[in-house]
């Protein structure tokens, strides 16, 4: 398939996990991809897998100067931008009674403020036909024990798409949310261990965790004209976790 032929995409958090899987899929479908992340070692490893149809920019979505540098690179090399996949995220467990201000700041700075400025700073390079994809989570619908800040931040991301769809009326730019459930990224497998993965798998009607490539396939759909009449929507790719 070449649904993204000639398109230019930015993927934040694009060096690992869902972001890297999406970068691979976008390139397979004809896009040129800029991946953006904080760890140079991970970016270098990703570039070795992605080849000549990708560029890597080191930076954080919480640093506005880094985002300016990202979009300056896009403008210099490609001129315009068609797809933004605001995928960078952060989350960790702290149960009610243990939550700290630092924990809230870290989570919301990345997941909410970072998402807002990733998109806002991209808009001058985008035009009609552009697609913005925000990474939500099943936790933004269901909640998750010990994940108050993360769950609330992802609920906020879901609302950003609804609000921005109104703000973007008349521009021809669409914005949708992609909400994965438990996904078997390298980071998740390391953090959960074999037993933890079994627990999360058992929570879904499909009795398994998602492969990152399955999330990437949904991202490619939202990035392409196949979803041309979709905006303000949430696409759940969660094995049914938040749907029952």
The tens digit of pLDDT for each residue in 60-111 reads 999 999 999 999 999 999 999 999 999 999 988 899 999 999 999 999 999 9
Which residue among 154, 162, 169, 198 is the active-site one?
A: 154
Is 71 an active-site residue? no
**What DSSP string runs through 133-188?**
EEE--THHHH--TTBHHHHHHHHHHHHHHHHHHHHTTTTT-EEEEEEE-SB--HHH
Is 194 exposed, middle or buried (CB count within 10 Å of its CB: 0-12, 13-18, 19+)?
exposed
Whether pLDDT at 191 is above 80: no
| Level-2 CATH architecture, domain 8-237 | 3-Layer(aba) Sandwich (3.40)
Average pLDDT in the chain: 95
Q: How far apart are CA 125 and CA 79, in angstroms?
A: 7
Are 203 and 241 spatial neighbours (Cβ–Cβ below 8 Å)? Answer: yes
Is 154 an active-site residue? yes
For 101-142, what is each residue's pLDDT tens digit? 999 999 999 999 999 999 999 999 999 999 999 999 998 998
Which residue among 7, 24, 71, 150 is the active-site one?
A: 150
Domain extent listing, the chain:
8-237
CA dihedral 58, 64, 69, 75 (to 10 degrees): 120
pTM of the complete model: 0.96
């Amino acid at each position: 398939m070449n649904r993204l032929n000639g398109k230019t995409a930015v993927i934040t958090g694009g060096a690992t996990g869902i972001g890297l899987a999406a970068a691979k899929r976008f390139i397979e479908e004809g896009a040129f991809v800029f991946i953006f992340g904080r760890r140079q070692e991970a970016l270098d490893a990703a570039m070795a897998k992605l080849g000549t149809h990708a560029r890597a920019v080191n930076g954080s979505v919480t640093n506005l100067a880094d985002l300016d540098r990202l979009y300056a690179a896009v403008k210099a090399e490609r001129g315009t931008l068609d797809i933004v996949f605001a995928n960078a995220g952060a989350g960790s467990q702290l149960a009610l009674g243990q939550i700290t201000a630092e924990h809230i700041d870290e989570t919301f700075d990345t997941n909410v403020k970072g998402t807002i400025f990733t998109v806002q700073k991209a808009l001058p390079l985008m035009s009609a036909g552009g697609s913005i994809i925000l990474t939500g989570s099943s936790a933004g619908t269901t909640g998750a024990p010990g994940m108050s800040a993360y769950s609330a931040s992802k609920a906020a991301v879901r609302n950003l798409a609804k609000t921005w769809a109104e703000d973007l009326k008349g521009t021809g730019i669409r914005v949708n949310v992609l909400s994965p459930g438990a996904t078997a990224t390298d980071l998740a497998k390391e953090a959960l261990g074999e037993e933890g993965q079994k627990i999360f798998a058992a929570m879904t009607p499909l009795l398994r965790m998602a492969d990152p490539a399955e999330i990437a396939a949904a991202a490619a759909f939202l990035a392409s004209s196949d979803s041309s009449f979709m905006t303000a929507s949430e696409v759940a790719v969660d094995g049914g976790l938040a749907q029952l």
